[in-house]
Chains A and B, each alone.
Chain A
Amino acid sequence: MPDTLFGYPLAAIAGQLLVGMINGSLYALMSLGLAIIFGLLRVVNFAHGAQYMLGAFVAWGLLEYLGLNYWWALVIAPLLVGLSGIALERFLLRKLYHLDHVYALLLTFGFALILEGVFRYKFGATGQPYPNPIPGGLDTDMAFFPWYRLWVIGASIAMCLGTWYVVERTKLGSYLRAATENPNLVRTFGVRVPRMLMLTYGLGVALAGFSGVMAAPIYQVNPLMGSQLIIVVFAVVVIGGMGSIVGAIVAGFTLGVVEGITKVVYPDGAGMVVFVIMLLTLAIRPNGLFGSHK
């Protein structure tokens, strides 16, 4: 087996592919949450990054203060973060639906600033370590693949497919999609649209919280982790096509991998590649890769 591919060390490529898949998992989960929220509520959830950070901190807090391990956190943290999202929707966001979309965007932006500020005030800008719940890994000739990272990729794919199935293939999902098209019509069929919107926002936010728990053992739990991720995820959403679930998943994983490869080939460009691809995509397809042409 050769050690290099196109002149680049194979081990480095394999390593960066793994990192790319990890990042791609997070991008996909995050943009999936955004796509669900945008699809139904027409709200750009600017707080998504902060809610992801909140998920990681809840997981960390459960371990630190209550001694509950990662697997408990994986269930409890998304639930709590989702509930906080439901409260936000119920008491603030709901009052803005009849206005221009700008206001909901600004509200969630303000909410993100508050959350980030509070956590920075409490924990500073330094990270809190979170122990790896599955130590060890798969040792191959090419590279070492830690079990935990493989788990993140697998769990993320499963979660994405599950969400896609619920929205696109079940009765509940058909209500959701119908409510996107014509909320008044769905209301006349006896569906409680406001409650559905609330639960949808909660679900999308819970996905962000879930991503946060997944990320905690890999990156340090840091108040800034959300604001660093969110803008890349926005670019991913634009590339995939806003509100498209398939687009969010495909673009998320693809861009994670592309970013990983760029890190090997042209390290300086790794931070930019997603945005360059976004601009190129927009130049050719203004609605994104999977966006509908309305």
Chain B
Amino acid sequence: MTETPSLLARYQRPLLIVGALVLLVAPFLAYPIFLMKLLCFALLAASLNLLVGYVGLLSFGHAMFFGSAAYGAAHAVKVWGFDPALGVLFGVLVAAGLGVVTGLLAIRRAGIAFSMITLASAQLVYFIALRSPFTGGEDGIQSVPRGHLLGFIDLSNNLTLYYVVAAVVAAAFWLIWRIVYSPFGQVLTAIRDNEPRAISLGYRVNRYKLLAFTLSAALAGLAGGMKTIVFQIATLTDVSWVTSGEALLMGIVGGLQTLLGPVVGAIVVVTMANSLSAIAEAVLIVQGLVFVIVVMVFRKGIVGEINAFFARRAARHSNP
């Protein structure tokens, strides 16, 4: 995948500045809660993309990390009275722990079996959330207090919370960017492209995979924990496989194997779901259609296609 970073690499600085400006100005142009939802789902999709796009492991159960962190954060903040930052951190730890356990089992199989194992593990987590005494069953954990960040920043103000969430998500994306372009990330890509070769080069492939899986789980957990603080609720929807499917949809609509893809995908999918929310069935049908269309004719996703367009143009210019 040599052509993938072309667009980003060439316009990195201007894109970064534009991105930062958009993040700063956005809450004055759109409803902050909606934006925060976007940010959380973009992070979820990006964490999944780290695994699917860069390691080639199709997790179909990422909602278990998103959801378990949502429950973990909700419980820590509401019942134990944690500071929101500590609550989210606790959620991240729960998700990462779950990531280690499920990762150990899942990475032993490749390809489709891996997907089914993650899906089934997620379903187990869903049943635990449904039956456990502390998760509130069908009702979930409601009216989680937003509290004061570090004891003095009042998060009940949507605008304040927005900037906190935006800063955290931006930091998380920076981390993902660092992971992908680090030597570690290059090994992951090598594993994706040719696992036997990576093994023969002496890399302990399973360790790399497990670490990537755990990192991805932790990042999905970060998204879930923040979602709880924003919406003050953790519910079964957060752990259901529908959420896993949506995260995947965001990734493939925006473009797997690209850093911006999950963001664009989240914007498209969340906006779509919000504008269709009057008819719940329509959301399913449209999402299904988008899946089919993207898979049939549009496999690189939006950002992927744009990158490919620029790559083609660059190739034309260099050898006329």
List CB contacts (< 8 Å) of A101-135 with chain B: 101-103, 105-107, 109-118, 120-121
Given contacts A234-B116, A275-B120, A276-B124, contact A107 B281 (CB under 8 A): no
**A53: shortest Cβ distance to chain B, in Å?**
13
| Interface hits, B128-175 → A, CB 8 Å | 128, 130-131
Given A107-B291, A110-B295, A113-B291, verify A275-B109 contact (CB < 8 Å).
no
CA distance A283 to B288 in the complex (A): 34
Contact: B109 with A110, CB < 8 Å? no
- Is B115 a contact partner of A107 (Cβ separation < 8 A)? no
A69–B3 CA distance with the chains assembled, in angstroms: 60
Give the residue of B120, B241, B289 whose beta carbon is less than 8 angstroms from that of A235. B120
Tell which of A92, A109, A232 has the most Cβ of chain B within 10 Å: A109
A25 CB to closest chain B CB (Å) equals 21
B287 to chain A, nearest CB (A): 5
Closest to A44 in B: B112
CB of A271 closer than 8 Å to a CB of B:
yes
- Whether A92 contacts B58 in the complex (CB less than 8 A), given A109-B291, A121-B281, comes out as no
Q: Is A237 an interface residue (CB 8 A)?
A: yes
Q: Are B241 and A113 neighbours in the complex by a CB distance under 8 Å?
A: no
In the assembled complex, the CB of B159 is this many whole angstroms from the nearest CB of chain A, namely: 36
Bound-complex Cα distance A142 to B248 (A): 50
Closest to B292 in A: A110
How far apart are the CA atoms of A231 and B52 in the complex, in Å? 21
Please tell me the number of chain A residues within 8 Å of chain B, measured between CB atoms: 43
Question: Does B108 touch A at the CB level, under 8 Å?
Answer: yes
Interface majority SS (helix, strand, loop, mixed), chain A: helix
Q: How far is the CA of A202 from the CA of B271 in the complex (A)?
A: 37
Contacts of B290 in A (CB 8 A): 110
The answer to whether B284 touches A113 (Cβ under 8 A) is: yes
Q: Which residue of chain B has the shortest Cβ distance to A42 in the bound complex?
A: B112
Assembly CA distance A234 to B58 (angstroms): 15
Residues of A within 8 A of B294 (CB): 106
**Which residues of B have CB within 8 Å of A112?**
288
Known: A105-B115, A231-B120. 20 other contacts (CB 8 A): A42-B112, A99-B299, A102-B52, A106-B294, A107-B291, A110-B295, A113-B284, A113-B285, A117-B282, A117-B283, A121-B281, A231-B119, A234-B120, A237-B116, A238-B113, A271-B130, A272-B127, A275-B121, A278-B117, A283-B105
Give the top 8 A-B pairs by smallest Cβ distance, nearest first.
A110-B291, A113-B288, A117-B284, A114-B288, A117-B285, A275-B124, A121-B281, A110-B292
Interface positions of B (Cβ within 8 A of A): 52, 58, 105, 108-109, 111-113, 115-117, 119-121, 123-124, 127-128, 130-131, 241, 245, 248, 252, 279-285, 287-292, 294-296, 299
Binding site for B on A (CB under 8 A): 38, 42, 44, 92, 95-96, 99, 101-103, 105-107, 109-118, 120-121, 231-232, 234-235, 237-238, 242, 268, 271-272, 275-276, 278-279, 282-283, 286-287
